Amino acid sequence: MAIRTVTLDGITTIEIARPEKRNALTQAMYRDMSASITAARADENVRALLITGQPGIFTAGNDLEDFLRAAAASGESSAVTGFMQALFECEKPVIAAVTGAAVGIGATMLLHCDLVYLSDQAQLLLPFVALGLVPEFASSLLLPQRLGHARAAQVLLLGESISAAEAVELGLATAVLPSNDLLAHARRMAKRFNSLSPGAVRDSKRLMRAGSSAAVARAMQEENAAFAARLQSVEARAALQAFLQKRRPDAGRSS
């Protein structure tokens, strides 16, 4: 299975396990992750969730061929939206153990995790504009808030990557660890919630997000609409086709 979910010792671990495709996410994988989050939220014995990937790769983001097929069939990608909503609404603590490159939604989902631990091999990359698209998962709101407009523009408009050390310095991650120690450390941190009052943790997380939750929800909605529109543009079609063909997009196209 491309998504492996295990609940043990009060922790639900969601492992992205498609290394042959660099953990690129399909619609089925999004649905499986949404179902895992929903089940963990409903299980009183689960105190925290842990999301991780494979050695050297967290996720390469969307499987573009699968994503484009779904978008062509329905005009939208509801499985992706469902995953975003499930993670955004999760009142239990979510820990990410980022095992390597985190691209696209692999990076933006980290903005909705409570503790983010990166391997020393990790890099965050948001190549939306290069693909003729726009940011998603409220990254157009949250990154300028956290980084300031100028640094966020480097990341979102120019698509510059963020190293693990930079992510911690910028407040996007909790700590950097050697690759071999990453998952064990993240699990230790997740298990600490077993000794804490679940109600107090839940209420504290809600209060921490209360001032921004409405704006985040609104940003996600606006981004999703803009993203769907951009998918139909000449720019995006050319850029995505070039990406799938492993070549540079033609210059000068506009829509």
Q: Is pTM, for the whole model, over 0.85?
A: yes
* Residue in the block written with tokens 């939206």: 81
Per-residue pLDDT of 218-242, as tens digits, reads: 999 999 999 999 998 999 999 998 9
Per-residue pLDDT of 123-137, as tens digits, reads: 999 999 999 999 999
- Checking DSSP bridges between strand 115-119 and strand 11-16, what pairing results, if any? unpaired
Spell out, as residue ranges, where the chain has pLDDT lower than 70: 73-77, 250-255
One-letter identity of residue 93? P
Cα–Cα distance for residue pair 131/11, rounded to 1 Å = 36
Return the sign of the alpha-carbon dihedral for residues 34, 18, 107, 69: negative
Q: Does domain 3-179 have CATH number 3.90.226.10?
A: yes
Cα–Cα distance for residue pair 92/194, rounded to 1 Å = 12
- Measured in degrees and rounded to the nearest 5, phi and psi for residue 88 equal -60, -40
Question: Mapping DSSP to helix (H, G, I), strand (E, B) and coil, where does residue 9 land?
Answer: coil
Q: Where are the domains of the chain?
A: 3-179
Cα–Cα distance for residue pair 149/55, rounded to 1 Å = 33
Cβ-in-10-Å burial (0-12, 13-18, 19+) of 162 comes to: buried
